[in-house]
Structure 1
Amino acid sequence: MASTEIQFKSLTPILRIFDVKKAKEFYLDYLEFTLDWQQGDEDSPIYMQVSQGGCILHLSEHHGDCCPGAALNIEVQGIEALHAKLLAKNYKYFRPGLETTPWNTREISVIDGFGNKLNMFERLT
């Protein structure tokens, strides 16, 4: 019997949303993710994929998919430029800080309108 190596390939978190317009304002306009695809319509819950570089997120209005209030750690390159870009947008719901942590990272944390927290970090060398 041949041995099969098991490899985990990628992770795509599902985040609960309740308002597609508000989700698009946050993820597409504020964070500048791209809408890759969307399923559903005004008579059914929406499920969509957004991405930015190698980061892929699924956003769902479906009740059984997940609970609001998730927290994600997203590694980024260029954290200071990202911070400056987010502050320049003057987004009325969030003005994140840039923190240097004791574990040797720089971090920005933002929370979408549904309680999901995105911790974006860059490792310091």
Structure 2
Amino acid sequence: MSAVPVLRVSDVDRALAWWARLGFVEEFRHRFEGTEPRYVGIVRDGCRIHLSEHEGDAYGHGLVYLWVPDVDRVAADFGVPVDDMPWARDCEVTDPDGNRIRVATAHD
């Protein structure tokens, strides 16, 4: 079993560039017709997230908890501090549409 979060974005191209900073690449793209909103799947190491321009998808801002091998690299790239939590070292970044992404590396 797996789950795929769907995040609402206003501009897929801008969102793709932002998510690329976290190592995600486009897996697929769907559009019903030429001017309809776009729906895109992104993937990194088997982790999938869907980004949707459809106004009826994913109301409000989402929150995704993302496990990575090196949270310090991500935090340095985004210029945010890393917090030491009992379960992991983590940081939080926000995409251009207000979706929050908590990025973490488990303690050894």
TM-score category of the 2 structures, normalised to the smaller one: 0.7 to 0.9
Distance in structure 2 (CA, Å) of the matches to 1:33 and 1:98: 21
Shift of 1:42: 5.0
Is residue 23 from structure 1 mapped to residue 15 from structure 2 by the alignment? Answer: yes
* TM-score, normalising length: structure 2: 0.87
SS at match of 2:105: strand
Q: Which structure 1 segments of 5+ residues have no match? A: 1-8, 87-93
Conserved 8 A contact 1:17-1:68: no
- The structure that has the greater radius of gyration is 1
What is residue 114 of structure 1 aligned with on the other side?
97
Within 5 Å, give how 1:1-125 maps onto structure 2. 9-28=1-20, 30-40=21-31, 43-84=35-76, 86=77, 94-101=78-85, 103-125=86-108
Conserved 8 A contact 1:76-1:121: yes
Shift of 1:32: 2.4
Distance in structure 2 (CA, Å) of the matches to 1:35 and 1:26: 12
* TM-score, normalising length: structure 1: 0.76
What is residue 5 of structure 1 aligned with on the other side?
none
Q: Which structure 2 segments of 5+ residues have no match? A: none
Q: Paired residues, what number?
A: 107
Q: CA RMSD in A?
A: 1.7
Q: Percent identity?
A: 26
